[in-house]
Amino acid sequence: MTSIIKNSRVLVTGGAGFIGSNLIESLLKDENQVICLDNFITGKRDNLAGFKDNKNFTFIEGDIRDRDLCSKACDGVDYVLHQAALGSVPRSIKDPVTTNEINVGGFVNMLWAAVEAKVKRFVYASSSSVYGDSPNLPKVEHDTGKPLSPYALTKSINEQYAAIFSKSYGLETVGLRYFNVFGPRQDPYGAYAAVIPKFVLSLMRHESPLINGDGSFSRDFIYVTNVIQANQKAAVAENVETVNTVCNIACGGRVDLNELFEAIRKELSRFDHNIGTIEAEYGPMRNGDIPHSLADISLAREMLGYDPQIQFREGLAACAEWYWNNYKELV
């Protein structure tokens, strides 16, 4: 990817996570000074192992619910790329209190710390879940429905708080509504793993993946490299209309779960032909799931100059190879 942020001091919250660690890797390649703030609730120390000896990398272990720590992390920073959150719709339904404490309370702490530190711009991860019960496709930024989960509600509140901080304190904010991000370092383990690494793990174990519902639900999957591009372009975009914008970050296409399963099975069969014989199992639909998501990405193209470079099948092939190389001991 062409260099975008250069010679800057950048704070990545949630930097030990899947998206955050990929962001850090890209920023360090361009000789930026990078500060990572993470509490390891969902992030992993292994994701940071490759950076620990880099003179431009600083790690702060802690929680965005700690206001003083947020202030410390923002000190002297040019840009904040805020990825820290307690993700997963099912987890938020099981534990809405902690989800709200981190995703809303922690978010406000970070906004206020950015104001006090006079950062140039605060770029934050929102979510396609804010579209809630709206049946309209493709999803357009100004047309949202009612949230269907506590997680979705927290992301909607984040967008409103960002707008208030932009208006009240002059903080430049840009929200990125991620659709279904996938790629290297995405955790395949646990009850709240995302669908692609979950399917990959099952197939590599020669087990049948579980598809919730009949497999007709569809998603706009986006490879993580495109998300890195969006974050960096959002941080430095010079168009004044970019400030306080919320943009869809996706590829503008959709794949249903049956197609996804078949595509993952095909990619992994390149490494183990036995995987090609495994069939999926079907179970009940999950509470809070949106049936379909498809993004209109024209606003991100206009405001950020965003242009997804890696499409679904290319990204999936790279992703399958990464999992095979890192988890082949499962076979």
The catalytic residue positions are 151
- Which residue from 155, 121, 142, 315 is spatially nearest to 233, judged by alpha carbons? 121
Tokens describing residue 216: 């007709």
Measured CA to CA, the distance from residue 143 to residue 181 in angstroms comes to: 22
How far separated are the first and last CA of the chain, in Å rounded?
A: 33
DSSP 243: T
Alpha helices in the chain (DSSP H): 18-29, 67-74, 89-94, 96-100, 107-117, 150-169, 195-204, 224-236, 257-269, 298-304, 312-327
Tokens describing residue 264: 């993952």
Q: Is 223 exposed, middle or buried, given 0-12, 13-18 or 19+ CB atoms closer than 10 A?
A: buried
Asked whether the beta carbons of 91 and 54 are under 8 A apart, the reply is no
Asked whether the beta carbons of 177 and 171 are under 8 A apart, the reply is no
DSSP assignment string, 135-177: --SSB-TT-----SSHHHHHHHHHHHHHHHHHHHH---EEEEE
Spell out the residues 6+ positions from residue 324 whose beta carbon is closer than 8 angstroms to its own: 204, 268, 271
- Which residue from 134, 129, 119, 126 is spatially nearest to 161, judged by alpha carbons? 126
- Which residue from 253, 248, 176, 189 is spatially nearest to 220, judged by alpha carbons? 253
